[in-house]
Amino acid sequence: MTVSVTTAENLLDLAGNQAGFAIVVTDSEGMFYGTGCIELDERTLSTTVELGTAGEYEVTYQLVSEDGHTISDRFGFSFAPTADHTPATGLASAPVCGEEPVSDEPAPIQEVEPISSVPEADSEPVAATPESESPGMGTIVAGSLTAAAAIAALALLWWRRKT
């Protein structure tokens, strides 16, 4: 199934990497469907998803319009599959294009050997060095800009008096 959003204006993808664009499909239980991959075609943002069982689904999308504004919204739809539909398994977290879905299974518990004794430290503690009291780069840049602005203002006043 293809899910798409078509806008009145062209979509803006300056870097060509589809950053800022997304379509996420969830069911009424909050499970995610799809691959996370999207396609852009002038005014249309779309993705392909395999849905689960019949029911209510929600599409959440985000896009960047031609004038540079980010737009996001959501809409719902009812899914009534045909008799030969094989339901897809929903994911607990949103899929990311090109990455394998994260398993919903908890990580197995590993046995850890208990610590029988704590070894003693054989060195002196390291004293923290005091922080430098010199101004940071931001302070230097801000001061330089302030001085340049003051010089420019004085030069402008001198020039106005001269003319």
Q: Amino acid identity, residue 54?
A: A
Residue 14 inside a domain? The answer is yes
Is residue 103, in this structure, part of any structural domain at all?
Answer: no
User: Is 141 domain-assigned?
Assistant: yes
106 pLDDT band (50/70/90 cuts)?
A: very low
Q: Is 51 inside a domain boundary? A: yes
Q: Which of 87, 71, 83 is nearest to 29 (CA)?
A: 87
Task: Indicate whether 88 pLDDT > 90.
Answer: yes
User: What pLDDT, in 10s, does the model give residues 69-86?
Assistant: 899 999 999 999 999 999
112 domain-assigned: no
The residue range of the domain holding 66 is 2-79
User: Count of domains in the chain?
Assistant: 2
- Rounded Cα gap, residues 116 and 147, in angstroms: 65
Would you say residue 33 lies in a domain? Answer: yes
Categorize the per-residue pLDDT at 18 as very low, low, confident or very high, splitting at 50, 70 and 90. confident
Task: For residue 47, give the nearest of 16, 22, 77 by alpha carbon.
Answer: 22
Predicted pLDDT of residue 128 = 45
Express each pLDDT in 25-48 by its tens digit. 999 999 999 999 999 988 899 999
Q: How do beta strands 39-41 and 44-48 pair?
A: antiparallel
CA dihedral for 133, 136, 141, 143, sign (positive or negative)? negative
Report yes or no on 39 lying in a domain.
Answer: yes
For residue 27, what is the domain's CATH number? Answer: 2.60.40.1220
pLDDT at 126: 47
Taking the C-alpha atoms of residue 11 and residue 32, their distance in angstroms, rounded to an integer, is: 25
Q: Please say which residue of 35, 57, 79 terminates a domain.
A: 79
Domain termination residue (choose one: 63, 79, 95)? 79
Question: What is the per-residue pLDDT across 111-151, written as a single tens digit (0 to 9) for each?
Answer: 555 555 545 555 555 454 455 455 555 555 555 555 555 56
* Residue at a domain's end among 79, 97, 112: 79
> Radius of gyration of the chain from Cα atoms?
29
Domain assignment present for 154: yes
Query: In which band, very low, low, confident or very high, does the pLDDT at 13 lie, cut at 50, 70 and 90?
Result: confident
Specify whether the CB–CB gap between 1 and 49 falls below 8 A. Answer: yes
What is the 3-class SS of the chain, one letter each residue?
A: CEEEEECCCCECCCCCCCCCCEEEEEECCCCEECCCCCEEECCEEEEECCCCCCEEEEEEEEEEECCCCEEEEEEEEEECCCCCCCCCCCECCCCCCCCCCCCCCCCCCCCCCCCCCCCCCCCCCCCCCCCCCCCCHHHHHHHHHHHHHHHHHHHHHHHHHHC
Residue 7 has pLDDT above 70, yes or no: yes
